[in-house]
Every structure is written in C-alpha cells, then in structure tokens.
Amino acid sequence: MRQSLVVGNWKMNSTRASAKLLAQGITAGLDERSNAGIAVCVPYVYLDCVSEIVKGTALALGAQNVADKPSGAFTGEISASMLKEFGCQYALVGHSERRTYYGDTNETVAARFCQAQEQNITPILCIGETLEQREQDQTFAIIEEQLDAVINQAGIAAFGAAVIAYEPVWAIGTGKTATDEQAQEVHHYIRQYISAKDQAIAEKLLILYGGSAKPDNAKGLFSMPDIDGGLIGGASLDAESFLKIYHSI
C-alpha cells in the first residue's frame, strides 16, 4: 500500500508574514494520520522562517527548484546542500513553468534530480504535456521523453527515492482540471512504463496529480488507483482549502 502525499507549491507568492501565517494555519489543522504525507514547497527566501514553524510537525518542507550543479560560479542558483541546511525534504524539479519560462531542458531537469538525491532530498519530478501536444496525440511520447532523460542520467533505481507529479500543462492555473479518467489514464501509463523497467519500484512509486486541483475535485482524482495525491498550486495558498484537499485522501 502506497502512502499518499499532498504537496503545496506556493510559487512566487506570499510575503514573509503571510508565509508564516499560512504555514501556521496548515500545521494547526493537521491530524495524526499515518497514510498521507503533507509538504509545502515555499519560495527559497522563506525556507528559513517556515522551517521554524514546521519543526516537530507532520508538515514537510520543500523547495521549488534546485541547482543542477553542486556548487561554484553559478550566480543566482541554490544548491541541494544549501536546501539541506534548512531541512528541505523535497524539491520540485522540471516544473512546467521552469521548462517554459526559464529554459529547463529534460537534461538539466535530470541533473537537478540527481543533485537533490545526492543530498537525500526527494525530487518531485514534474512531467506533462501541453494542450497542443495532447491534441496531436503526443501525450505518451512526451511523458516517455521526459522520463527517459531522468532514467538515462539517474538510473531506474533512483525512482525508489523520488516522486513523480503528472501535471498536464493545459490544466495548470487555468481552472481546467483533467477529468479523473484522463488523469488516471496517464498515471497508469507512467506506472506501466516504469514497471516495464522495474516492477517493484513502480508499485511503490508515488505519482501525484497537479493542475487546478481543488477541494471540490480532489476526492474524485485521489480515488483513482494510480493517483497517489496531488501537487497543488493556487489552492495551497489558503490553509483551509489546502487542508480540505489533504483530508480528501
């Protein structure tokens, strides 16, 4: 039985004060459940203050990205070892906004994935197709390309310490959620693809859904056999709605 996971992605939102309030609101609403993990990926500059708030609670801390190199002359980058100092357990890699606006390629995403694992930070590998790719029936080919880049660099065994987030780009921040069946179809495909290389890893692998997940659609999505939780953007900026999603598991 896989343990579920709900992860908030705050993106470039909040202030120091509102970040603290949001983290406090979430920790105050947590209960003693063992079958679901919960985490927030906060802006780098708030890792410090949020780490103080989550200490000793079930709320885990994550970053929204991680450098593809361990250290050195890479102005503006934040390394995995730096994230580790703040107690980060997770780091998103390959979010579609990084791929689209900041030039992340499948290869740099794979390098980020490896850097996170070097520091025992669990990478949350984000993959997904654009609307155009879906309409041209390329969804599975795109998913394979995105997975292959990481499998080639990190090896299939690395997925034993990673999470995948399937986020159809057309559903992110658009209010258009994939239907339960649409999401399940791709999640199942991802699991089968990994399973063909290593069945035991595929069975344990958490595959989260992301893209306009909200309190009113989370239950349906999470009831699908290959959907193990969610990566939540907009709806994670409000403690009550994020907790409702978490409690839908």
- The residues assigned a catalytic role are 95, 167
Is residue 122 near ligand PGA by the rule CB under 6 A? no
Structure-block tokens of residue 212: 């306009």
d(CA 17, CA 80): 25
d(CA 248, CA 246): 5
Is residue 233 near ligand PGA by the rule CB under 6 A? yes
Is residue 231 near ligand PGA by the rule CB under 6 A? yes
- What SS3 state is found at 190? helix
- What SS3 state is found at 98? helix
Is residue 173 near ligand PGA by the rule CB under 6 A? yes
Residue from 218, 232, 243, 245 in contact with ligand PGA (CB under 6 A): 232
Is residue 234 near ligand PGA by the rule CB under 6 A? yes
CB 186, min distance to ligand PGA, A: 15
CB 236, min distance to ligand PGA, A: 7
Is residue 176 near ligand PGA by the rule CB under 6 A? no
d(CA 11, CA 8): 9
User: How far from 48 is each of 23, 43, 54, 55, CA to CA, in Å?
Assistant: 12, 10, 10, 11
Is residue 190 near ligand PGA by the rule CB under 6 A? no
Binding residues for ligand PGA, per CB under 6 A?
9, 167, 172-173, 210-213, 231-235
